[in-house]
Structure 1
Amino acid sequence: MPAENLTRAEAIERAGVVSGVESYSIELDLTTGPTTFASTTVIRFSATPGAGTFVDLVAPSVREVVLNGRSLDVAEVFADSRIALADLDAENELRVVADCAYTNTGEGLHRFVDPVDGEVYLYTQFEVPDARRVFATFEQPDLKAPFSVTVTAPAAWQVVSNQPTPEPEAARHAAEPGTEAATWRFEPTPRISSYLVALVAGPYAVQRGELTSSDGRTVPLGVFCRASLAEHLDADYIMETTRKGFAFYEKTFDVPYPFDKYDQLFVPEYNMGAMENPGCVTFTESYVFRSQVTDAVRERRVVTILHELAHMWFGDLVTMKWWNDLWLNESFAEYASTLATAEATEWEAAWTTFSAMEKTWAYRQDQLPTTHPIVAEIRDLEDVQVNFDGITYAKGASVLKQLAAWVGRDEFLSGVSAYFKKHAWSNTELPDLLVELEATSGRDLTAWSKAWLETAGVNTLRPEIEVDGDGRITALAVLQSAPADYPTIRPHRLAIGCYDLVEETDGSVALVATHQVVIDVDGERTEVPELVGHERPALLLLNDEDLAYAKIRLDEESLAAALEHLSHISDPLARSLVWGSVWDAVRDGETPASSYVDLVLGNIAAETESTTVRTTLNQLGLAARSYVAPERRAETLARIGDRVWALAQDAAAGSDLQLQLVKFFAALASTPDHVTPLRGLVQGTTTLDGLAVDTDLRWELLQGLVQLGAAEPSEVDAALAQDDTATGRQSAARARAATPTLEGKEAAFASVVDATDVPNAIIRATAAGFVHVTDPAVLEPFAARYTDALLPIWTTRSYHIAEELIEGLYPAPLASVALRDAVQAWLDAHADAPAALRRMVAEQLAGTERALAAQAADA
């Protein structure tokens, strides 16, 4: 990988030589065989006469390099991932002919063979630096150009790129003369960055539709997936969600959709949720629901659809100049998609979901030793790869929500609209946006930007309350603190909610908002005179409505009321804030993990929001396995399993809560008593009204049996024989890796570390099963195995595969001093290891250190 890196300094230097790129012409022949494809690139560009530079290309072989009519010696000019170009003219034409390689890593041009029907499916994934795996390119976002793509492929395939698909022409199949082939010649794209070019090809099933844009154009729509999944594709719902998003964004941004069509393609073995290729958006095919899924997953798919659609403006129309402004893409898309989900779809509680899921992610990331400013210092490509994180996405979106509250939503969105109009088809940096926001809001944002975008860390806000003998508030202040390593004290616009118990008409009790004030918090102490003289509420909730980005603590009386009446808090967003505050206190070692377990088991059945349930149950699992005192771990897991199974049996038939509880029971089953209901659900001898044990749920139940040592390998083999699909193979890999023996864990570890040809999706599934244990002692030998493998993994694997292995195989359930010491020793001994690798390892270590601190607090 070091030979494939690119530094910011090199990119700046190259942009100083290459003054403009006129066009790319890319020809790809996908009929040459199963391992490589033919790639021919012609780049026309302007440059400083006499200067030299390079283009990027990762390919097993380069056959021809011609610069301005001169054939260059490939052996002299091509090395590692670069082709050197010397003695440039003012106007240049470069032609590169190469054999490029298909991948099974989700980078470049990924090739997948469907086990159901043997068909081949291809898709590209280029962000950050992987267009160079398919064609020769200036691989940096500020050298935008129009791209003309021509593709030769089997005639029966669908071939999709950024521009509308043209009528194909008959062509020759290079490897199979008897097979019909065709050539598709796409019109040039608008001026975009190289990482946004896309190609999807194969016998995909497609459903088509259209919409009318705000400027009167008819925009064609397409929804694609593999043929063997077509029966599960709910394309009508996806297109209807897309239409709602188009209408919302075009009205909100006051800028029509900037491209010619909008295809959404669900592709196999994808490394992420989705990618915003203009007009050719790719998604993980886990969003094609072949089995029942929770409402949390359904809502997440809507947010993802709208996130990628927002990118057509944020990132595609206007693109960051260099990756330190990646937040201009991702934070805005995250904020805009939640706004659109809440206001344009049926998922009206999207901000509650954002609070429960995204902000939890942001707070966790921002408390790691590797945290960074939203506008991060990106020195090279390896830096940006690890910055697709909770800061760039979730913290950035949280801060934008805060900014909109601070300057006014209308003023904020007017500034965004002006930004799009002024910088369409170009590249920008942070000041370009701030200029427009300052103009529409009338505020000087220099200090705000410095505090929020250019410094790292999260503040903590606490109330300080004094009351008189009549229970009325005589003084109230908000105290703000910051961690010693990141001491910035920031301005916050936030609401303070007053909640009191009221009796409902049916005789039940609810904790409801009775009064609210909105204030600006600035400095270490902010007085709140607006509430002086008011009767002290049962619950005083800082950051009501979740406008601010800050850790929130409750005063002692409010905490007691919140814990006693958590299930009675009527507002789901307020409940989410309380859940989050208590969980954060557990993570910080202020509240014992065992008390959090009690809180969840006593209140989760009353929670109405699917993502809050999902997030809270996942946190319960982490608390039980890593945060409770080790001597109580087995008892705690047993109690959780018993209680969750009981709650599942009592849950409303067919409810989302019932499904989530059954899934979680399978994940945390830990005793011989838990085998009986798991086995009964798999065999059908135990049933719950309304619960369908479908294919994917059966796999989860089977994995629960495997991790308990209650299922033989032959049972996994039999399940795979019944479901020999891509998902089935991943589920089988995960189940096998969950085998709770040293031999089983050794086999799982070796299958993905020693073997180098395993696809990305199988690696991901295997790693998930490897760390899924009831008794963590089985992982003790792997502390050393893990650290020994780090450098070989980093030096021999592509970035995404290295990331999957380094993060996925970390034996986190050990949560032990021995693991901490082993990883710290590796970091101490490898101070000169690549920074991105050290960051990954340091973040895993931080999780173990936090677990040890939580265990001490629970002792």
Structure 2
Amino acid sequence: MPGENLTRVEAQERAALVQVESYDVALDLTTGDEVFRSTTTVRFTAEAGASTFIDHISRTVHSVALNGTELDVAKVNDGVRIQLDDLAAENELTVVSDALYVNTGEGLHRFVDPVDGEVYLYSQFEVPDSRRVFAVFEQPDLKATFRFTVTAPARWQVVSNQQSPEPVVDGETGTWSFEPTPRISSYITALVAGPYEVTRSELTSSDGRVVPLGIFCRASLAEHMDADYIFDITRRGFAFFESQFGVPYPFEKYDQLFVPEFNAGAMENAGCVTFTESYVFRAQVTDAIRERRVVTVLHELAHMWFGDLVTMRWWNDLWLNESFAEWASTLATAEATEWTNAWTTFQAMEKTWAYRQDQLPSTHPIVAEIRDLEDVQVNFDGITYAKGGSVLKQLVAWVGLPAFMQGVGAYFRKHAWGNTELADLLTELEAASGRDLGEWSRLWLETAGVNTLRPKIGTTADGIITSFVIEQTAPAEWPTLRPHRLAIGFYEEEDGKLRRTHRVELDVDGAETAVPSLVGHIRPALILVNDDDLAYAKIRLDDDSMQTALESLRDIEDPLARALVWGAAWDATRDAETPASDYVELVLANIGAETESTTIRLALSQLGLAARSYVHPSRRAETIRRVGDGLWQLAAAAEAGSDAQFQFVGAFAGLASTPEHVEALRGLLSGATALPSLEIDADLRWQLLDGLVLNGAAGAAEIDAELATDDTATGRQFAARARATIPTPEAKKAAFASVVDQAGASNMIVRYTGLGLAHVNDASVLSGLVPRYHDAIGQVWESRTYQVAEALLVGLYPASLANEELAQATRGWLSANTSAVPALRRMLVEHLAGVERALAAQERDA
């Protein structure tokens, strides 16, 4: 990474000098397995006599010609930037190079399918990686048209932002000459190539155009690609967004490509969206994952307007792209698909992510200070996505959905194909709503931290409410108290269910807000602050309501209300206000009645963290045993073939710890034990084997045997995880060395190795990695690309130890490396915060 950075100041200076007209990019993908030939011709205007640079990371630059003059490559090229001096008013630059294929998901990723040996390529350019494929002014505000010409095997599919032309074929080679794109940013250009299987369809846009649709995946996964369903969701999304925005889809076609070894969930390349192929379901997945796929499809579609048609000027407004897409996709999911409880999912998953991120020492305002590319890389976080989406939801509630959409539509029309800043959007929203948003922006977008709201209630001896006040607090580091629009719900038992019997909606502001309208009411069994989840704030239950939750959470009828109570209970556990052992009891007693898949998924994940890291070490082994016993009982009692049964079995495999648990896993794997309607498919077999490995009941031989039956990309990833799960210090050190000491493992193998390394019941096997990890930090950061460095430094951190030894080692590194790159220090600061939180929780649990 050193030398590959770009600062905001440099970008501003370059944008003041240069306006780009067009790129002609010719790529020859037939030159071997390591490099491809890249020829770029850029036409741009500049201040006559000025100097600047163009970005290009390559293996070899063969020639650089500026306005017909060949430049000395050795003098102008440093491997990252090409210096351009004495520019003319109008310029033409041609760069010929050999660029590298990657297996890190940054640039042009090359993957060989172990099933059939076929080669698949795809690009991933956000944030700064189009420069790994062609010479480019790599910043979002230097938009241009892009014309791609691609030479590849004639039997391949070749896909880019414009419609794929018929190739000119010469023997076994074809050349595809694409039409120029509209003016777009380089990071949303795209190239996908290989023998992908494709299903085609079309739809009619609101302006009467026929928009071609395509869905692509690898040939060996094609039988699992449910293209008709994706087309259906896509059509629903088109109709919803075009109606709400009042602006037709801006591009000429819409392809969705499911690609291997993808680092993120998806990427909004204009008209050429790439998705992780884990969304091609080769085996059973939870309903939570199925719903997440729908939200992701609609998230990327929303970006075609917000991000692609109108693009941020610089990465400090990345949040606005992602927050808008997060909010809009959840709205579309709830209102235009069968997943009508999408806002419950948003509360359970997205807001939990946001609250966690907002309580780290590294929290930042939604409008973050982005000084350089390294800053933006670490800001794809819970603030940028989930907190921003939550705050937009609150803004919509304040100005009204019709006015909000009217303003958004005006924003798209006014700034189409241009670059904007936050003020440009607020201007249109103020015009549409008649509200001044300056103070709202200052309080919500320019300050960090999350407020906590808790009820303070006075009652008579017979339960009549005499006073009701909502207390608002803020952390000392981020002391802002904010205005909140929220509801308070009263819940009472009716016919065996806890149902809302009374609701009041109000504005909360300042340290205390009295609610006189509740005085005189009989205190109910459960009082829920932020009922309906209108506000972005942590909530606390009063003591009586917490007791009701512990006893009767399963009986709350409304799934969103349940999700809020689940969230409040977990947050109090994380904050060491309530013992982790109480949370374990809460989950085991109530999760069996939960109906929402994402709520189950999140609670089970938190259950594992509580049992392994938050309970006091003296009772950890016993707690893990009880959790395993409870999960097995829940699996046996669950509805046959249900999502809950499937999730309980998976969680049981991940937390198994006793000989009895091992026998149950062996029985499921061999078929000697069966749960009604539970199919033991390839992915579940790996989870069951992982549980055996965790307990020392299986090892390398069994992993190799399973891989022999599933030698696929997914199987190899699972095998890497299983090998790293082997519960001995020697195996953990070997797994660590396999990805740290040797470069070359793909991004997914690195990630799955990290998952296995962290999978322990007895974390003491990781003790030997504490010095090893901290000694390796600098070397990893210096020698790897960002995505791989992050995967290593996050995935291999021995957080499962959760002890003072680990905390001291990390504090020591931070003290000794005060001048380290801020993005790198942030990762370690967040690790330390996690360990310190676990230690506080352990002390409370004592």
The interval holding the TM-score normalised by the smaller chain is: over 0.9
What is the aligned partner in structure 1 of residue 279 from structure 2? 287
- Could you list the per-position Cα deviations for residues 601-633 of structure 1 after superposition, in whole angstroms to 9, with x for gaps in the alignment? 000000000000000000000000000000100
Of the three residues 809, 812, 826, the one matched with 1:825 is 812
Shift of 1:554: 1.1
Aligned pair in 2 of structure 1 residues 656, 46: CA closer, same or farther (>3 Å)? same
- Could you list the per-position Cα deviations for residues 515-547 of structure 1 after superposition, in whole angstroms to 9, with x for gaps in the alignment? 211111111111212222322222111111111
Residue identity in the other structure for 2:6: L
What is the aligned partner in structure 1 of residue 302 from structure 2? 310
Report the secondary structure of 2:3's partner residue: helix
Residue identity in the other structure for 1:358: E
- Could you list the per-position Cα deviations for residues 580-619 of structure 1 after superposition, in whole angstroms to 9, with x for gaps in the alignment? 0010000000000001000000000000000000000000
Report the secondary structure of 1:89's partner residue: coil
Instruction: Tell me if structure 1 keeps the 8 A contact 2:38–2:133.
Output: yes
What is the aligned partner in structure 2 of residue 355 from structure 1? 347
| Range with greater deviation from structure 2 (557-566 or 672-681) | 557-566
Shift of 1:467: 2.4
Instruction: Tell me if structure 2 keeps the 8 A contact 1:614–1:660.
Output: yes
Instruction: Tell me if structure 1 keeps the 8 A contact 2:700–2:723.
Output: yes
Mapping 1:655-666, distance limit 5 Å: 655-666=642-653
Instruction: Tell me if structure 2 keeps the 8 A contact 1:459–1:550.
Output: yes
Mapping 1:701-740, distance limit 5 Å: 701-740=688-727
Mapping 1:617-632, distance limit 5 Å: 617-632=604-619
Calculate the TM-score normalised by the size of structure 2. Answer: 0.99
Is 1:564 the counterpart of 2:551? The answer is yes
What is the aligned partner in structure 1 of residue 540 from structure 2? 553
What is the aligned partner in structure 1 of residue 240 from structure 2? 248
- Could you list the per-position Cα deviations for residues 245-277 of structure 1 after superposition, in whole angstroms to 9, with x for gaps in the alignment? 111111111111100111000000110100000
- Could you list the per-position Cα deviations for residues 297-349 of structure 1 after superposition, in whole angstroms to 9, with x for gaps in the alignment? 10010011000001001100111000000011100000000000001000000
Mapping 1:671-686, distance limit 5 Å: 671-686=658-673
What is the aligned partner in structure 2 of residue 500 from structure 1? 492
Residue identity in the other structure for 1:113: V
| Cα distance in 1, alignment partners of residues 89 and 483 from structure 2 | 51
| Cα distance in 1, alignment partners of residues 464 and 425 from structure 2 | 46
| Cα distance in 1, alignment partners of residues 204 and 370 from structure 2 | 40
| Cα distance in 2, alignment partners of residues 27 and 306 from structure 1 | 32
Of the three residues 213, 223, 240, the one matched with 2:205 is 213
| Cα distance in 2, alignment partners of residues 306 and 98 from structure 1 | 37
| Cα distance in 1, alignment partners of residues 552 and 148 from structure 2 | 61
What is the aligned partner in structure 1 of residue 114 from structure 2? 115
Mapping 1:388-407, distance limit 5 Å: 388-407=380-399
Instruction: Tell me if structure 1 keeps the 8 A contact 2:23–2:40.
Output: yes
Shift of 1:469: 4.5
Is 1:643 the counterpart of 2:626? The answer is no
Residue identity in the other structure for 2:328: A
| Cα distance in 1, alignment partners of residues 463 and 772 from structure 2 | 61
Instruction: Tell me if structure 1 keeps the 8 A contact 2:699–2:723.
Output: no
| Cα distance in 2, alignment partners of residues 847 and 566 from structure 1 | 28
Residue identity in the other structure for 1:63: H
Mapping 1:380-779, distance limit 5 Å: 380-503=372-495, 509-779=496-766
Shift of 1:468: 3.2
- Could you list the per-position Cα deviations for residues 659-704 of structure 1 after superposition, in whole angstroms to 9, with x for gaps in the alignment? 0000000000111221000000110100000100000000000010
| Cα distance in 1, alignment partners of residues 81 and 425 from structure 2 | 34
| Cα distance in 2, alignment partners of residues 534 and 417 from structure 1 | 45
Is 1:319 the counterpart of 2:311? The answer is yes
Instruction: Tell me if structure 1 keeps the 8 A contact 2:119–2:195.
Output: yes
What is the aligned partner in structure 2 of residue 506 from structure 1? none
| Cα distance in 2, alignment partners of residues 469 and 705 from structure 1 | 56
Residue identity in the other structure for 2:559: P
What is the aligned partner in structure 2 of residue 160 from structure 1? 159
Report the secondary structure of 1:710's partner residue: coil
- Could you list the per-position Cα deviations for residues 691-721 of structure 1 after superposition, in whole angstroms to 9, with x for gaps in the alignment? 0000000000001000100013111111101
What is the aligned partner in structure 2 of residue 23 from structure 1? 22
Report the secondary structure of 1:25's partner residue: strand
What is the aligned partner in structure 2 of residue 66 from structure 1? 65
Let me know the Cα RMSD of the aligned residues: 0.8
Report the secondary structure of 1:755's partner residue: coil
Report the secondary structure of 1:5's partner residue: coil
Instruction: Tell me if structure 2 keeps the 8 A contact 1:104–1:759.
Output: yes
Instruction: Tell me if structure 1 keeps the 8 A contact 2:486–2:533.
Output: yes
- Could you list the per-position Cα deviations for residues 356-393 of structure 1 after superposition, in whole angstroms to 9, with x for gaps in the alignment? 10000000000000000110000000000000000000
Shift of 1:120: 0.2
| Cα distance in 2, alignment partners of residues 423 and 528 from structure 1 | 44
Is 1:12 the counterpart of 2:12? The answer is yes
Report the secondary structure of 2:6's partner residue: coil
Shift of 1:416: 1.2
Shift of 1:470: 4.7
May I ask how many residue pairs the two structures share in their alignment? 846
Shift of 1:747: 1.2
| Cα distance in 1, alignment partners of residues 699 and 613 from structure 2 | 28
- Could you list the per-position Cα deviations for residues 133-180 of structure 1 after superposition, in whole angstroms to 9, with x for gaps in the alignment? 000000000000111011000000000000000011124xxxxxxx60
Calculate the TM-score normalised by the size of structure 1. Answer: 0.98
| Cα distance in 2, alignment partners of residues 594 and 453 from structure 1 | 36
Report the secondary structure of 1:789's partner residue: helix
Shift of 1:414: 1.4
Shift of 1:746: 1.3
Of the three residues 812, 826, 843, the one matched with 2:799 is 812
Shift of 1:52: 0.5
Instruction: Tell me if structure 1 keeps the 8 A contact 2:59–2:79.
Output: no
What is the aligned partner in structure 2 of residue 97 from structure 1? 96
Is 1:140 the counterpart of 2:139? The answer is yes
Instruction: Tell me if structure 1 keeps the 8 A contact 2:50–2:85.
Output: yes
Of the three residues 168, 175, 190, the one matched with 2:182 is 190
What is the aligned partner in structure 2 of residue 798 from structure 1? 785
Residue identity in the other structure for 1:566: L
| Range with greater deviation from structure 2 (465-474 or 214-223) | 465-474
Report the secondary structure of 1:3's partner residue: coil
| Cα distance in 1, alignment partners of residues 132 and 379 from structure 2 | 21
Shift of 1:406: 1.4
| Cα distance in 2, alignment partners of residues 296 and 685 from structure 1 | 29
Residue identity in the other structure for 1:144: K
| Cα distance in 2, alignment partners of residues 413 and 545 from structure 1 | 22
Residue identity in the other structure for 2:431: A
Instruction: Tell me if structure 2 keeps the 8 A contact 1:253–1:413.
Output: yes
What is the aligned partner in structure 2 of residue 174 from structure 1? none
What is the aligned partner in structure 1 of residue 52 from structure 2? 53
Shift of 1:412: 1.5
Over the matched positions of the two proteins, sequence identity in percent amounts to: 69
Shift of 1:240: 0.4
Residue identity in the other structure for 2:454: R
| Cα distance in 2, alignment partners of residues 161 and 697 from structure 1 | 36
| Range with greater deviation from structure 2 (756-765 or 404-413) | 404-413
- Could you list the per-position Cα deviations for residues 171-214 of structure 1 after superposition, in whole angstroms to 9, with x for gaps in the alignment? 4xxxxxxx600000111111110000000000000111111111
Report the secondary structure of 1:325's partner residue: helix
- Could you list the per-position Cα deviations for residues 78-120 of structure 1 after superposition, in whole angstroms to 9, with x for gaps in the alignment? 0141000011111111111110000000000000000000000
| Cα distance in 2, alignment partners of residues 168 and 449 from structure 1 | 51
